[in-house]
Chains A and B, each alone.
Chain A
Amino acid sequence: MTMKGPFERHSAFPAPTGLYNAAYERDACGLAMVATLRGTPGHDIVDGALRALRNLEHRGAVGSDAGTGDGAGIITQIPDRFFREEVSFELPEKGRYAVGIAFLSADSAERIAEKRSVEGIAREEDLEVLGWRVVPTREEEIGDLARETMPGFEQLFVRSHSRGEDGLGLGGIALDRLTFRLRKRAERELGIYFPSLSARTIVYKGMVTTLQLEPFYPDLSDERFESTLALVHSRYSTNTFPSWPLAQPFRRLAHNGEINTIRANRNWMHARQSQLSSPVLGDLRPLFPIVTEGASDSASLDEVVELLELAGRSLPHAIMMLVPEAWENQLDMDPAVKDFYEYHSRMMEPWDGPAALVFTDGSLVGATLDRNGLRPGRFVITSDGLIILGSEIGVLDVDPATVVRKGRLRPGSMLLADTVEGRIIEAEELKSSLANMEPWGEWVREAEIHLEKLPEREHIIATPQSINRRQRTFGYTEEEVRILLTPMGQTGTEPLGAMGSDTPIAAISERPRLLFDYFAQQFAQVTNPPLDSIREQVVTSMTTGLGPEGNLLEAGRDHARQVVLEFPVIDNDELAKIGHLRHPNASAASHTLSGLYAVNRGHEGLRERLDELCREADAAVDKGVRFLILSDRHSTVDLAPIPSLLLLSAVHHHLIRGHKRMRVGLVVEAGDVREVHHAALLIGFGASALNPYLAMETVEQLARNGEIVGVEPEKAVRNVITALGKGVLKIMSKMGISTVASYAGAQAFEAVGLSQELIDEYFTGTTSILGGVGLEIIEEENRQRHELAYPAEINAKPHERLPVGGEYQWRREGPPHLFNPETVFLLQHATRQKRFDIFRKYTKTVDDQTEELMTLRGLFRLRTEDRTPISIDEVEPVESILKRFNSGAMSMGAISPEMHETLAIAMNRIGGLSNTGEGGESPERLLNPETRSRIKQVASGRFGVTSLYLTHATDIQIKMAQGAKPGEGGQLPANKVYPWIARLRHGTPGVGLISPPPHHDIYSIEDLKQLIFDLKRANPAANIHVKLVSQSGIGAVAAGVAKAKADVILVSGHDGGTGASPLNSLKHAGTPWEIGLAEAQQTLMLNNMRGRVSLHVDGQMKTGRDVIIAALLGAEGYGFATAPMVVSGCILMRVCHLDTCPVGVATQNPELRKRFTGQPEFVQTFFEYIAEEVREYLAQLGFRSLDEAIGQAHLLDVDKAVTHWKSEGLELEPILSTEALRPGVAIRQAEGQDHELAEHFDNQLRELVKPALETGQPVSVDLPIRNTERAVGTMLGNDVTLGYGEDGLASGTIDITLRGTAGQSLGAFMPGGITLRLFGDANDYVGKGLSGGQIVIKPAEGSVYAPERNVIAGNVIGYGATSGTMFISGVVGERFLVRNSGATAVVEGAGDHALEYMTGGLAVILGETGRNVAAGMSGGTAYIYRLRSERVNREALSSGEIELSPLDSSGREIVRVLLIRHLEETDSPLAARLIELGDAALDDFVMVTPRDYKAVLNTRDEALAQGLDPDGEEVWSRILEVTGG
């Protein structure tokens, strides 16, 4: 029996079954820190921390076994008095012994052996075992699942044999260096996990809920258990499988969020091990790997932090090295600090969050956020030296009169306290001491190599013939040149496409495909957020260092000796410079590996050549070469190029395995790279830079011969570099990764259709779910391409420059498309003429894939032989099947009002559900049962998401991702924002609208839980859907979403349609729904969560067969989008993004809308026919209803008749696995979620304000509140909207005063007529979606601090607000008023990214702002007191999109009035002062307005003055003129 690793014991993760893999499990959490500066430890600190933990309960989660939590824990100082009195043996002086809990076997006999083994290691590591103490526990307190995996708990006490200079045993960190070795070896050699083993701190943790931690470990209640500091953590995991070791805190830190870059960080740490050495830690080899297998991202981070700290860096130093702030683009940073960061960036890539970290070494205690600051951290400091920090404010009550400071963690900043010295160490002090520790800047400037300083090389121009030959060699098509490269060379941006993808994925394509095509990009959804690399460029960096890295545990000049590349894509001349780099002794510092192989020797030849190249790489590294260039240039008829990705990854992983990787930098010179996806893959698999020479030569030639118009060849090349680089940045952003340094080597891809053998050998660590082809087929495909370049007779196709292509636009010679002229015609004709016979022809053409495989489901066969067919008359009727159909989420904006309404009417008539899409719904349609869309979508832009909209939803769908472009936002270009669209979306006609990549209230799973909570309260009757996109790991996400209490989970395929998407996303992100659906179904069943949710699926659904396969794989609801559009006239023009749809389907152009020919009847017919086909399949399978078929995956098998050269290696069995099927486990939705609506705070409000609700008479209420009460006012708002409609009640009818700390989402979606007046503090998301209500927040009565200098409310205030007012006396967090479209708000200071994406409304900020003000702001006005212009989004300001100006008379009036109201509502001392200053104060205000918004308003005003219709055509063309739309 092999030994279980430390993270496998005391855990109950199932072995990988079907598609489930524990590696995908994620978690997120709440955390808190309590410390005192008074210098003396006390139990009060521990007790306070435990209380804070209990108040974070809602941030954790419980699984299917209600008693078992996801984990919680605490770290404190060693409670010396307690232990000294508790143990029978004698302890050395305080600090001279180490103690920690060991998770031992529950079996006492085994335990004895284990203890003996531990003691053996201790002796070897110079430690003396003082004794063991059995830790008292109360197992009756915890859940069944937790108990089943519970370890035996004993504390080990040790001291050092060696004596220090003082003659005493080692203490503190010196002792910890020994216990570190013991602990690591115990993990490696025995699999025994110690939550901690230290002379400084101790951890108690386990699979308990926040409420169970203290009762389970009675030690914690002991008054003698004392500390000056304590960190607590509550975990929310995506699964329900208990794991004791994965509970937090870890040894140095606790973490809320996720490390997005974890794969790269782990890979690089693994590669770095060979370079590690430390005189204080001894021989490290027995301790390897530093980063333990099976650990969580947080655990890995902790392991590296611990290593750095023990090796000699201070804890804050280590943290700043691993989680640096976004220093790269900061203008106002101290240069010495910048040097510090730059120097360390040469040794370590960022461990990118989202992350809130609390950490301690036993005396220092601190907290920090990563560069993006996407996790909340609020703190309070009192006059008696108490520091309380938590994910929320209000976790611990303090007397307002004692508060001296209320703050929040800011992106990249640190709160640090020294409990020994009893003082706060301010960030500036810390940074400056670190910055001056060593001459970082000098080292950097002396050692760095910059390409522009090297001698210029003569530029080489390739001939057209040579370019064409090589284009053929690398499989270029005319289409790629026309659709990808020409636009990139022309404009420097990646082109857009529309309508999804309906061609076969590489794994089943008949045609030879590039190796790149077998990889799908991963993207962030739910557990971490994608980023907006455009609007938040300030946090991104494309700079990398190329070249060897030194020993991580030391620091010196040589560590900085790298080539600094500001962009990972380099041109031919830059590559030539690298190729000619020399050592100081003039020998070559670079070596080029020629990636060619003898093509006539086939895959054997390829394999041997790769081996040879790896040996050559070894030899070069051994000789001291610092840069390896992997090149596929110079192929000939006999020598074919090795696919660059294979070449790179083979060498990269070989060097890692041989411990040589960190001694060289890898550059790829690749002819096959021509799109963004390719570039991303090369960087993701370890290249520091790439030179896509053929793509560049191609555009150079296109520019020379005029196919790229008006662009010089040199510029065209720069454009390609920009397009590829920016594209890579965008792909990184989809994963939430901000810097290319931590994207490099991250392998943020999954393989679809590659054999495990190939993966293990060349792409180690990459997920490949379905097996597939090996080197043999890869070589075969490569050879076929190569032969195209050297045809037997050139005149066989004498006029063909390149093969035609056909991936993006249908071509006869190209790959098959599900929708082609034949199927479009048949479908349209069948549904319009009501011809079921022709419809059958259509479905047969789509389903019949024996000749050309198009989809995975085409490979499946229904095992009808296992079932007895029944008469179709016994099958449920068409009507009941129709109810399960949904039409796709398409916004009015993307599609025409005619198309949108046609779908809605048709779906309403058949009893199915249509979807508003992102973009609101007009009150006329919303309230009309015939035309309304029953599913209301809530997407990141929150367009038109009002209380009315939510109240009148049947279902509410949270769009986490979209199949065509998961992880990306969207943009409705200005020329599509017609007046009627602007009205729906609360925007401005002719001004573009941005949907951000993330929901700014969902950066992790517990945030999603919060949004579900909010929406459920905005409409308690609605089902809440969460829309996900298929990718590996979706099962874990789905389980997490089910725990977050979604009612419906929708799995979208990667191939779904869209109005506009970058082409790489359309083709290369996500996986087919067959895989995602099966994984979700299996994982939900493994977690026994399936019964609580309904599973839906969509993505290129076209036939009854598609539905039946989806049902058998576990889906209960089925979405169709493209097909009903085709029925309505869509002919797959794929120009939705251009607003030129010639059939009026996807356009707003009034002229084109007239051409719309769709009818609801056609769409009804379509769905009726689909339902009829479903009935026929059910009859064949002997099922009377779809319900009986759901989840019966065993009735599918792989159709042996459908095989071809590639699909033969595919292993589809995991999709069909029914291992998760166990007695008593639901296979389909069986019960609802318990939304605990009855416990909501608003229930008491409803009672108290009854008169107002019933008669509209004014009512006042006064109640206490605390942080656990969330979305207060939302459910009440729902009542008001139900009763009084869009405008709510008369202003001030319901006046509610609250005292204390409000939980998240205070007043979310609250309509007019309600005022919430909070005395105290508020958490995140105040006034989210505010719909007319008023929110006032001011400090608690008795507070003595100055409100304008302290934080009173959290992040993302007023997100998506559409109307209403807020007066907040104090400073608020990041992203104030993000996507506000109509509310008015006054605050006294705001964090980073204030006013982001704002499209309307009014903001007054009376104090300081953070960075990146007004990014993506396209409407509304802000008045900011003493605005520092360098804080405004740089790109918007320099391009003139955002204008800053002094206040005009009306602006002065507005501010004057609002200041007076602010004073009246909040008693703000600041407002009082400003009013007193009068005009002088008003002079210091700056008005912030978007240029186009202002211009449009002016144009419309002028038009009104001229008596013109501002929404008319005349004015519309004037608007487009002023905005250039």
Chain B
Amino acid sequence: MANPRGFLEVTQRELPSRRPVEVRIGDWREVYGPRDPEVLKRQAGRCMDCGVPFCHHGCPLGNLIPEWNDLVRKGDGRAAIERLHETNNFPEFTGKLCPAPCESACVLGINQPSVTIKQVEASIIEQAWANGWVTPLPPSRVTDKTVAVVGSGPAGLAAAQQLTRVGHTVAVFERDDRIGGLLRYGIPDFKMEKHHLDQRLAQMQAEGTRFRAGVNIGVDITWPELIERYDAVVVATGAPKPRDLTIPGRDLLGIHYAMDYLVPSNRVQAGDSVEGQITAEGKHVVILGGGDTGADCIGTAHRQHAASVTTLAIGYQPPSERPESQPWPMDPTVFEVQSAHEEGGERVYLASTVEFVGNAAGEVTGLKVAETEYRDGGRFPKPGTEHVIPADLVLLSLGYTGPDYTDLQSQIGVGLDGRGNLKRSDDYTTSVPGVFVAGDAGRGASLIVWAIAEGRAVASEVDRFLQGDTDLPAPVRASDQPISI
């Protein structure tokens, strides 16, 4: 039983400290220093063990948060990792990368700062790895069924691990040269060092999951061929298509999609050399879009010694407190200071870019920016407010529009739904028997925690398809959405 008065005794959140900015921007290692176990116990002890734990609902995985909070409070890390792994295959990923809708839903958050759930999660798995409590769990018997998982991001990996463990032979295909999808090349090391990924992949490999990097399904192997070769196929190829900004000057040199900038940088961190790497060194960098990818660009640019870094966001600066329109327990948009924001640069709001300005060489030199005006339910540049911001490197991090679907559609007729995602049913099936869609490919760009949840759920459906029945858990349906009005 949790300490019923814990939340009254410790009223504030305590987060682990980030390494000093001047130190951390000199390297690429993770920004967070070690966590103090006593602080974590104290924070976990603030959990109220609610009759209706909204955190557990707010988490798409259905993490058993009150239960492992209490185990951490009592110092039983061994039991805590078991309870955590019960619902989450990769807590080290979510513990570092998830924006934690659970904390937004935390009941304590109604009138007090919420429990630092994410930190508790991260510490549980860290301790578990450190103590060798995470071991491969190969199946006790194998079936005669094979499954191809296309895409090695969190959804694909989760599906693969679940299906491997119940005895199916699973091959994970990745068109990139290394396994991991966005986890590998989309996330800078200062947010998650890649050895975390590698040690998890090693566990999966030891369990029997097969990894096939550098194979582009649809091209190297056609979809019909793949379907022929496997009893089931899981499409977990993500929603990588970036949103563009088609305004005058878009074809100037020096304007890139954020991923085109981040991926080479992350490759270099992985020890590769990348020819023609876009780097921010010595440049005035302007980033369009104030989301997580934008923040990754900021951190990367600083580490590359940019001359200046400016982020332009078209809308209002979000409020620092939860707005009334997004009541508890919704996951609200609030003004956040991520680690990258601490490291420097300017964040400009209500900035509508109307034109990229370039020089004769066709290189971008600046952006013509107007103040945003909200009108008729839309956002428009306010006439007469234009001014030019200098820039030698412009990064577009305006979100993602959906999956690559051309080969799928042309080869097996799996096309898009009305929202631009791969068309599937509530149970992740497509029009082609045996082909399933999971993760961002079906949901649209979302959170890593949704990807893992979908990966787990699709595995359950695939198992049922292959065996007629399943013991695998299915935490979400394809149509499930976060709580909202």
A1079 to B377, CA, bound (A): 58
Asked whether any CB of chain A lies closer than 8 Å to the CB of B56, the reply is yes
Asked whether any CB of chain A lies closer than 8 Å to the CB of B167, the reply is yes
Q: Indicate if the CB atoms of B137 and A810 lie closer than 8 Å.
A: no
Report the stretch among A630-638, A1128-1136, A1363-1371 that lies at the interface: A1128-1136
Cβ distance B69 to chain A, nearest Cβ, rounded Å:
13
In chain B, positions 47-91 with a C-beta closer than 8 Å to chain A are: 48-54, 56-58, 62, 64, 66-67, 76, 82-83, 85-86
Contact of B8 among A707, A820, A1132, A1140 (CB under 8 A): A1140
> Which residues of chain A have C-beta atoms less than 8 A from B112's C-beta?
1142
Report the stretch among B102-110, B176-184, B355-363, B366-374 that lies at the interface: B102-110
Asked whether any CB of chain A lies closer than 8 Å to the CB of B214, the reply is no
Q: Indicate if the CB atoms of A822 and B483 lie closer than 8 Å.
A: yes
Chain B residues near A (Cβ < 8 Å): 1, 4-5, 7-8, 48-54, 56-58, 62, 64, 66-67, 76, 82-83, 85-86, 105, 107-108, 110-112, 137-141, 165-167, 327, 329, 470-473, 475, 483, 485
Q: Indicate if the CB atoms of A821 and B483 lie closer than 8 Å.
A: yes
List the count of A-B residue pairs having beta carbons below 8 Å apart: 130
Contact of A812 among B1, B50, B56, B166 (CB under 8 A): B56
> Which residues of chain A have C-beta atoms less than 8 A from B8's C-beta?
1140, 1151-1152
Asked whether any CB of chain B lies closer than 8 Å to the CB of A1155, the reply is yes
Q: Indicate if the CB atoms of A797 and B50 lie closer than 8 Å.
A: no
Asked, given contacts A487-B1, A798-B165, whether A1142 binds B471 with beta carbons under 8 Å apart, the answer is: no
> Which residues of chain A have C-beta atoms less than 8 A from B138's C-beta?
795
Asked whether any CB of chain B lies closer than 8 Å to the CB of A1143, the reply is yes
Asked, given contacts A795-B138, A797-B86, A1131-B107, whether A1138 binds B4 with beta carbons under 8 Å apart, the answer is: yes
Asked whether any CB of chain B lies closer than 8 Å to the CB of A427, the reply is no
Q: Indicate if the CB atoms of B52 and A1132 lie closer than 8 Å.
A: yes
> Which residues of chain B have C-beta atoms less than 8 A from A838's C-beta?
485
> Which residues of chain B have C-beta atoms less than 8 A from A817's C-beta?
52
Asked whether any CB of chain B lies closer than 8 Å to the CB of A1236, the reply is no
Asked whether any CB of chain B lies closer than 8 Å to the CB of A657, the reply is no
Q: Indicate if the CB atoms of A792 and B48 lie closer than 8 Å.
A: no
In the A-B complex, the 3 residue pairs with the closest CB atoms: A1134-B51, A796-B471, A821-B57
Q: Which residue of B lies closest to A709 (CB)?
A: B74
Q: Which residue of B lies closest to A793 (CB)?
A: B166
> Which residues of chain A have C-beta atoms less than 8 A from B475's C-beta?
812
Asked whether any CB of chain B lies closer than 8 Å to the CB of A804, the reply is yes
Asked, given contacts A809-B49, A1151-B8, whether A797 binds B54 with beta carbons under 8 Å apart, the answer is: no
Asked whether any CB of chain B lies closer than 8 Å to the CB of A623, the reply is no
Cβ distance B436 to chain A, nearest Cβ, rounded Å:
18
> Which residues of chain B have C-beta atoms less than 8 A from A498's C-beta?
51
A1157 to B57, CA, bound (A): 23
Asked whether any CB of chain B lies closer than 8 Å to the CB of A332, the reply is no
> Which residues of chain B have C-beta atoms less than 8 A from A794's C-beta?
140
Q: Indicate if the CB atoms of A1135 and B471 lie closer than 8 Å.
A: no
A817 to B57, CA, bound (A): 13
**26 A-B residue pairs with CB within 8 Å:** A482-B67, A498-B51, A499-B51, A706-B76, A795-B165, A797-B86, A797-B471, A797-B473, A798-B165, A799-B85, A809-B49, A809-B53, A810-B56, A810-B57, A811-B53, A822-B57, A829-B327, A829-B485, A1131-B54, A1135-B4, A1135-B48, A1140-B4, A1142-B7, A1142-B48, A1142-B111, A1151-B8
Task: Count residues of A near B (Cβ-Cβ below 8 Å).
Answer: 51
> Which residues of chain A have C-beta atoms less than 8 A from B48's C-beta?
1133, 1135, 1140, 1142
Cβ distance B386 to chain A, nearest Cβ, rounded Å:
39
Cβ distance A1127 to chain B, nearest Cβ, rounded Å:
14
Cβ distance B465 to chain A, nearest Cβ, rounded Å:
15
Cβ distance B276 to chain A, nearest Cβ, rounded Å:
46
Asked whether any CB of chain B lies closer than 8 Å to the CB of A824, the reply is yes
Asked, given contacts A796-B165, A809-B53, A1133-B51, whether A482 binds B1 with beta carbons under 8 Å apart, the answer is: yes
Q: Which residue of A lies closest to B75 (CB)?
A: A706
A486 to B167, CA, bound (A): 36
Interface of B is mostly: loop
Q: Which residue of B lies closest to A1155 (CB)?
A: B111
Q: Which residue of A lies closest to B484 (CB)?
A: A825
Asked whether any CB of chain B lies closer than 8 Å to the CB of A813, the reply is yes
A706 to B75, CA, bound (A): 11
Q: Which residue of A lies closest to B140 (CB)?
A: A794
Q: Which residue of A lies closest to B105 (CB)?
A: A821
Give 13 A-B pairs besides A795-B166, A812-B57 with Cβ atoms closer than 8 angstroms: A791-B471, A793-B471, A795-B140, A796-B471, A798-B85, A800-B86, A809-B52, A810-B57, A819-B52, A825-B483, A829-B327, A1151-B8, A1157-B111
Q: Indicate if the CB atoms of A1142 and B57 lie closer than 8 Å.
A: no
> Which residues of chain B have C-beta atoms less than 8 A from A499's C-beta?
51
In chain A, positions 435-482 with a C-beta closer than 8 Å to chain B are: 478, 482
A499 to B51, CA, bound (A): 9
A465 to B108, CA, bound (A): 37
A798 to B7, CA, bound (A): 33
Asked whether any CB of chain B lies closer than 8 Å to the CB of A1461, the reply is no
> Which residues of chain A have C-beta atoms less than 8 A from B7's C-beta?
1140, 1142
Give 1 or 0 for each of A1132-1165: 1 = CB within 8 Å of chain B CB: 1111001010110000000110010100000000
Q: Indicate if the CB atoms of B57 and A796 lie closer than 8 Å.
A: no
Q: Which residue of A lies closest to B81 (CB)?
A: A799
Q: Most chain-B CB neighbours within 10 Å: which of A706, A795, A1131, A1152? A: A795
Asked, given contacts A800-B86, A1142-B107, whether A812 binds B165 with beta carbons under 8 Å apart, the answer is: no
In chain A, positions 797-834 with a C-beta closer than 8 Å to chain B are: 797-801, 804, 808-813, 817, 819-822, 824-825, 828-829
Q: Indicate if the CB atoms of B141 and A1143 lie closer than 8 Å.
A: no
Cβ distance B105 to chain A, nearest Cβ, rounded Å:
7
> Which residues of chain A have C-beta atoms less than 8 A from B139's C-beta?
793, 795
> Which residues of chain A have C-beta atoms less than 8 A from B5's C-beta?
1140
Cβ distance B389 to chain A, nearest Cβ, rounded Å:
40
Q: Indicate if the CB atoms of A1131 and B110 lie closer than 8 Å.
A: yes
Q: Which residue of B lies closest to A706 (CB)?
A: B76
Q: Indicate if the CB atoms of A821 and B52 lie closer than 8 Å.
A: yes
A706 to B64, CA, bound (A): 21
Cβ distance B207 to chain A, nearest Cβ, rounded Å:
8
Q: Indicate if the CB atoms of A799 and B82 lie closer than 8 Å.
A: yes
Cβ distance B161 to chain A, nearest Cβ, rounded Å:
10
A1333 to B166, CA, bound (A): 79
A452 to B170, CA, bound (A): 61
Cβ distance B372 to chain A, nearest Cβ, rounded Å:
28
Q: Indicate if the CB atoms of A799 and B83 lie closer than 8 Å.
A: yes
> Which residues of chain B have C-beta atoms less than 8 A from A799's C-beta?
82-83, 85-86
Contact of A813 among B51, B52, B62 (CB under 8 A): B62
Q: Indicate if the CB atoms of A825 and B1 lie closer than 8 Å.
A: no
A1131 to B50, CA, bound (A): 9
Q: Indicate if the CB atoms of A795 and B57 lie closer than 8 Å.
A: no
> Which residues of chain A have C-beta atoms less than 8 A from B52's C-beta?
809-810, 817, 819-821, 824, 1131-1133
Q: Indicate if the CB atoms of B64 and A798 lie closer than 8 Å.
A: no
Give 1 or 0 for each of A739-754: 1 = CB within 8 Å of chain B CB: 0000000000000000
Cβ distance A1509 to chain B, nearest Cβ, rounded Å:
23
Cβ distance A927 to chain B, nearest Cβ, rounded Å:
33
A1152 to B48, CA, bound (A): 14
A147 to B1, CA, bound (A): 65
A819 to B5, CA, bound (A): 24
Give 1 or 0 for each of A363-380: 1 = CB within 8 Å of chain B CB: 000000000000000000
Q: Indicate if the CB atoms of B110 and A1143 lie closer than 8 Å.
A: yes
Cβ distance B140 to chain A, nearest Cβ, rounded Å:
6
A808 to B329, CA, bound (A): 21
A1151 to B5, CA, bound (A): 12
> Which residues of chain A have C-beta atoms less than 8 A from B4's C-beta?
1135, 1138, 1140
A707 to B79, CA, bound (A): 10
Cβ distance B328 to chain A, nearest Cβ, rounded Å:
8
A800 to B137, CA, bound (A): 13
Q: Indicate if the CB atoms of B485 and A812 lie closer than 8 Å.
A: no
> Which residues of chain A have C-beta atoms less than 8 A from B49's C-beta?
809
Cβ distance A1125 to chain B, nearest Cβ, rounded Å:
13
Q: Which residue of A lies closest to B63 (CB)?
A: A812
